Chains A and B, each alone.
Chain A
């Protein structure tokens, strides 16, 4: 029986990703989790969902891992962490009426957590990252962690309008200036929080830690695809959609494969 590769992340990892900027574009190219599973001859469980936040990522992985009776089947688990400003929650009814919409899943997300501030969001996400590490250590499960999107830089600089806001004329309530005072002061406070976790994170299994350039870390969006859409356009969909195109997904897969194989033998 093949081993399992279990991945969870946001739109950059989502098999059923669609481009909000180019809704008519065929974006069905293979995504890096599927490409990676093929390279390692594993079966893939890809739990990724566009727009989701870090609570979704941890919760789905937790459910998947703990509900699996034979954990020796798990060959590798990879969370690709996303922006800390997102809020995830689960509903349990209404599915039938929403079956043809993007609300058909039990998990829902908001772009901005209405409670707390940037520092709390950072702590919340770091607790999720720690909890995931502890979960894998407890069950001796092979894992690697990555930051896909910068945890908060886009929020500091002002989030771009959503598809809904652009095309459907929805209120731009969420696309607001930074609401927590001086962005740079918030930034330095958040950097301090990331430093607090430095001694707790298993850095060998977290390439890019501590995720921010100021502390010597990086996220994959920045390192492999270029910052936003302004740099290495070869890897992203277009000037108005920074998601990885087919070549970008290949690039992500090759890089992640290489990083994981430095730590774990006999995967390839």
Chain B
């Protein structure tokens, strides 16, 4: 039986737990399990909640390089948010189960730098799979960089307002300019990325792409709740039906 190797963030994590509803049993099947069953492959799911794109690329690189290539049936990367920073602590530091850690915000680089870094990871995965002639697909799970601005706005105590809204401390023009720069950075990678293997390219709806979460689960909180594909108003992760819907959507491309 060939292997389906998957990495990604919480949406792809088989052991996902809801931090908004810690008591909830969230052990429903996740999309990688449906896809493995559909393809009759053995699942190697490396995805983990909260992780960023260095984690996604690194875990796939490690797994692919150590696995005999004729055993690999398909590689899927469900890319995460660009602003996350990942690292490993291999020395003993308590009861942490895994060596990988992540920060929600990489303080070192602005979104433009983070966007470039993520796109280089996408390229590197493509090169890796092409080098070994491995079937692969990539997609953006949630927003690549837009959530950075959303959270930035929320930091200024404007939780009701959407992206692009600013206040006196938060220069609207600069921010909008920065968003435009991120979008143009994505487009600058278009002639290098194999867009036929990248579901939703160019990633952002502002330039004609999409993320899987937006495309399948809905664009707004209202829409996702109406579709009943997410856990709750407080937790936008896919519920059991949402995971099934993502799997069905991906099957269409596979």
Contact = CB atoms under 8 A, between A and B. Distances in A.
Interface of A: 59, 62-63, 66-67, 87, 89-93, 106, 108, 110, 113, 115-117, 119-120, 123-124, 127, 130-131, 134-135, 137-138, 180-181, 189, 200
B129 to A, nearest CB: 9
Contact of A130 (B61, B110, B123): B61
A131 B88 CA distance: 18
A62 B88 contact: no
Nearest to B189: A66
B242 to A, nearest CB: 32
A93 B116 CA distance: 14
Given A90-B109, A130-B65, A131-B124, A119 B131 contact: no
B131 A92 contact: no
Contacts of B178: 93
B127 A189 contact: no
Contact of B101 (A67, A115, A200): A115
Contacts of B99: 120
Contacts of B110: 91-93
B89 A92 contact: no
10 contacts: A59-B117, A59-B120, A87-B108, A89-B106, A89-B113, A91-B112, A117-B88, A120-B99, A124-B88, A131-B128
A130 B128 CA distance: 10
A47 to B, nearest CB: 14
B87 A62 contact: no
B127 A119 contact: no
B109 A116 contact: no
Interface of B is mostly: helix
Interface string B80-120: 00000101111100000001010100101110110011001
Contacts of A90: 109, 112-113, 116-117
Interface in B217-239: none
Interface string B175-189: 000100100000000
Contact of B61 (A59, A108, A131): A131
B27 interface: no
Nearest to B130: A138
A62 B123 contact: yes
A113 B127 CA distance: 27
Nearest to B62: A127
Contacts of A135: 124, 127, 131
Interface of B: 58, 61-62, 65, 85, 87-91, 99, 101, 103, 106, 108-110, 112-113, 116-117, 120, 123-124, 127-128, 130-131, 178, 181, 192
A66 B109 contact: no
A77 to B, nearest CB: 14
Given A62-B124, A66-B192, A87-B108, A134 B131 contact: yes
Contacts of A87: 108
A92 B101 CA distance: 26
B187 to A, nearest CB: 14
Given A62-B123, A131-B128, A117 B113 contact: no
Contacts of B130: 138
Given A130-B61, A131-B128, A134-B131, A117 B120 contact: no
B91 A92 contact: no
Given A92-B113, A127-B62, A189-B90, A115 B85 contact: yes
B72 to A, nearest CB: 15
Nearest to A133: B131
A67 B192 contact: yes
Contacts of A200: 65
A136 to B, nearest CB: 9
B61 A92 contact: no
A131 to B, nearest CB: 5
A127 B58 contact: yes
Contacts of B124: 62, 131, 135
A117 to B, nearest CB: 5
Given A92-B113, A117-B90, A137 B131 contact: yes
Nearest to B92: A181
A63 B178 CA distance: 21
Contacts of B62: 127
A265 B89 CA distance: 44
A117 B89 contact: yes
Contacts of B91: 117, 119, 180-181
Contact of A92 (B90, B108, B112): B112
A65 to B, nearest CB: 10
Contacts of B88: 116-117, 119-120, 123-124
Nearest to A186: B91
Contacts of A62: 120, 123-124
